[in-house]
Amino acid sequence: MVINMEDKISFCPTCGEGTLGLEEIEESSSDECIKTCYYSCGHKHTKISISTTILVKAGLTKTVSRTGDKKSAGKHQAHEIEERYKENDKDCHGRLTLEFIYINHKDTPTSVFHVVKYRDSNELKHVDCKYCGNSWKSDSRLPFEDFFSFEFIPEISYPSSFKIQCLKCSAKYEVIK
């Protein structure tokens, strides 16, 4: 596109003497615009404008909830639940997972369970007892009930009331609300 600049007077930014005589604008499909200005003094100025789009992605990555009275040292509460939202499962690329870390400080020793499930189907991927190393994985084809005892108590308060217990070391996480 060529534009004659007869009705508008612009002076050359280099020497300040020449006036703008001709302006060319080229647009490309890649959101780039090249504007070339020709001045009567012989100077030529080119401006390249690039239009950019920035994708901002915001999402929840982790939540932590705690219940019960703090211990005397003030460091821990009786129960902690940490939820981690993951974008890519390491075994199934592109599949979204939700990891739960259940920590019971009430019992001695402290019991910790790591539970991973797929967000799209709510299907359990694996469960680990971090105290003794007991682990169940859905792709092992072994029954979950041989490794852990899991009990929901929906009539009390779904989904907050449940019990998970390791059948190897008897560590447990139990919340009844």
| Least confident residue range of 7-16, 78-87, 140-149, 152-161 | 152-161
pLDDT in tens, 108-159: 778 898 999 888 888 889 999 999 999 999 989 899 999 999 887 666 545 5
CA dist 148 and 50 (Å) reads 58
> What is the predicted pLDDT for the residue at 147?
95
Expressed in angstroms, the distance from the first to the final Cα of the chain is 72
Query: Which pair of structure tokens corresponds to residue 11?
Result: 């002076």
If you average pLDDT over each of 5-9, 72-76, 107-111, 162-166, which comes out highest? 162-166
pLDDT at 168 over 90: yes
Say yes or no: 93 and 165 in one domain. Answer: yes
Domain that holds residue 19: 2-50
Judge whether 160 lies within some domain.
yes
pLDDT band at 166 (very low <50, low <70, confident <90, very high): very high
What's the mean per-residue pLDDT of the chain?
Answer: 80
Say yes or no: 93 and 162 in one domain. Answer: yes
pLDDT at 75 over 70: no
pLDDT at 161 over 80: no
Say yes or no: 133 and 100 in one domain. Answer: yes
The pTM score is: 0.56
Q: How many domains does the chain have?
A: 2
Say yes or no: 148 and 73 in one domain. Answer: yes
| 3-state secondary structure labels for all residues of 28-92 | CCCCEEEEEEEECCCCEEEEEEECCCCCCCCCCCEEEEEEEEECCCCCCEEEEEEEEEECCCCCC
Say yes or no: 119 and 168 in one domain. Answer: yes
Judge whether 108 lies within some domain.
yes
Say yes or no: 41 and 85 in one domain. Answer: no
pLDDT band at 93 (very low <50, low <70, confident <90, very high): confident
**Amino acid identity, position 105:** H
Judge whether 56 lies within some domain.
no
Say yes or no: 171 and 89 in one domain. Answer: yes
Strand order from edge to edge, sheet including 44-50: 2-4, 20-27, 32-39, 44-50
Span 58-65, average pLDDT: 67
Query: What CATH number is attached to the domain comprising 35?
Result: 2.20.25
Say yes or no: 89 and 31 in one domain. Answer: no
